[in-house]
Amino acid sequence: MRRKLAAGNWKMNGCKADLAQIKALCAAHETATVDLLICPPTTLIGAAAEICADHALQIGGQDCHAQASGAHTGDISAQMLADVGARAVIVGHSERRSDHAETSDDVRAKASAAHDAGLQAIVCIGEHLAEREADRTLNVIGAQLADSVPGDASAENTVIAYEPCWAIGTGLTATPDQISEVHDFIRDRLVGRFGPEIGQAIRLLYGGSVKPGNASQIFAVQNVDGALVGGASLTSRDFSPIISALEGAVEVS
Ligand code: PEP
């Protein structure tokens, strides 16, 4: 039985005043029955982790460098994130892949660095609209999955987030059938590569315009173990009903 995970990615949003949203989430979900993670900008990680010190809500980073330290101006290592209280880090988000030309090899190196620092790596994969329209979705997902996930992946150190690029921040959401096809495919590939025990235990998140109004429908899809949420994770008002929907989710297909 995989424990569900509701993860929020604040991207480049949030100043000190927005820590109030994290306090509100902690208060609203004192006894959460799913795992909770917020990835605020790096500037807020230390303060957010202190707020959540006695709560199940965990704090994560949005990216890390592949090296533990060194001459990389402006970069942050996984070790540094762990040092200020992060428990996880997103790697390979499509905005990193497109804005910073990150390849799946880069993503795998970052995920390995996260593992070395004791962080859970949330490895993002997803196809562009042109790739979907060319019927290449599963080829793209298969290649990204193989190249982005390190060989030491386990349920403890790795989560996979399927985020179709065309659904991120656009208000477009993949249909349950589209999500189901890709998540079943990812599950099969994980079982094929890591064996049934690890392959069945690694959690698969869906990401792409998840909102309070569509969350229940998405969480009903088999092999969807939660969500990686961007815009709707910025406020407790929007993220809280998504968490509640995940807590009440019953897979039907
Ligand atoms: C994301 O940032 O990973 C994401 C899915 O964003 P949004 O929910 O805003 O589409």
Question: Looking at residue 164, which CATH number applies to its domain?
Answer: 3.20.20.70
Ligand 1 atom closest to 168 (CA): 10
User: Given a cut of 90, is residue 246 above it in pLDDT?
Assistant: yes
Taking CA atoms, 43 is separated from 84, 110, 236, in Å, by: 10, 20, 19
Lowest mean per-residue pLDDT among 10-24, 121-135, 237-251:
237-251
CA distance 225 to 94: 20
Give the per-residue pLDDT at 1: 85
Report pTM: 0.97
Three-class HEC string of 1-27: CCCCEEEEECCCCCCHHHHHHHHHHHH
How far is residue 35 from each of residues 90, 139, 166, 178, measured CA to CA in Å? 15, 31, 27, 25
Neighbours of 95 (CB within 10 A): 20
pLDDT at 115: 98
**CB count in 10 Å sphere of residue 22:** 24
Amino acid found at 9: N
- Mean predicted confidence (pLDDT) in 90-113: 98
Provide, rounded to the nearest whole percent, the portion of the chain with pLDDT above 90.
96
> pLDDT confidence of 251, banded at 50, 70, 90?
low
pLDDT value at position 125?
Answer: 98
Higher-confidence residue of 196 and 171: namely 196
- 173 Cβ closer than 6 Å to some ligand 1 atom: no
Mutate which of 98, 163, 224 to test ligand 1's pocket (most atoms within 8 Å of Cβ)? 163
C-alpha to C-alpha distance for 109 and 148, rounded to whole angstroms: 8
CB proximity list for 109: less than 8 A, separation 6 or greater: 66
Range of the structural domain that residue 131 is part of: 5-252
Q: Is 209 in the pocket of ligand 1 (CB under 6 A)?
A: yes
pLDDT of residue 253: 46
* Mean of per-residue pLDDT scores for the chain: 97
126 lines ligand 1 (CB under 6 A): no
Total count of domains within the chain: 1
Given a cut of 80, whether residue 215 has pLDDT beyond it is: yes
d(CA 91, CA 104): 10
Task: Give me the mean pLDDT over the 165-184 stretch.
Answer: 95
As annotated, the active-site residues are 93, 163
